[in-house]
Amino acid sequence: EAEVAQSPRYKITEKSQAVAFWCDPISGHATLYWYRQILGQGPELLVQFQDESVVDDSQLPKDRFSAERLKGVDSTLKIQPAELGDSAMYLCASSFSENTEAFFGQGTRLTVV
């Protein structure tokens, strides 16, 4: 069964360091999302791609976060520099197109120390 792949599963990094997460969506899915889920809360959208284009990054803290999906397939989310408040689960999801069911990966749990 096709799944959204994310790596790493867990990441511990020191404050002020750079960290990157990778996501490989289900083959053929044009829409890719990055969500952040703080413990005890629901996921919140950071960025949405349609193919290689960003369609919504209004909640992405652009001073420290960046995201790319250069070939419209896999995607990387980067944080530089990391802050203590960035500790959270980072979820990637993909869908065949906008307005269709989103499938989630297992997430990357980030701890900033």
Partner 1 sequence: AQTVTQSQPEMSVQEAETVTLSCTYDTSENNYYLFWYKQPPSRQMILVIRQEAYKQQNATENRFSVNFQKAAKSFSLKISDSQLGDTAMYFCAFMKLAGTASKLTFGTGTRLQVTL
Contact residues for partner 1, defined by CB under 8 A: 3-4, 31, 33, 35, 40-45, 48, 50, 55-56, 91, 93, 98-99, 101-107
Q: Least distance (Å) from partner 1 to the CB of residue 81?
A: 27
Please name which of 95, 87, 112 lies closest in space to residue 33, comparing C-alpha atoms: 95
Residues 72, 30 contacting (CB under 8 angstroms): yes
Output the smallest distance, CB 57 to partner 1, in A.
Answer: 11
Q: Which is nearer to partner 1, 77 or 91 (CB)?
A: 91
**Closer of 79 and 95 to partner 1 (Cβ):** 95
User: Rounded distance, CA 50 to CA 61, Å?
Assistant: 20
Q: What is the three-class DSSP state of 85? A: helix
Q: Give the other-Cβ count within 10 Å of 44's Cβ.
A: 12
Q: Kindly report the backbone phi and psi dihedral angles of residue 45, in degrees, each rounded to the nearest multiple of 5, phi listed first.
A: -70, 130
Nearer to partner 1, 7 or 81 (CB): 7
Q: Which is nearer to partner 1, 14 or 28 (CB)?
A: 28
Considering the complex, what minimum distance in angstroms separates the CB of residue 88 from partner 1?
Answer: 14
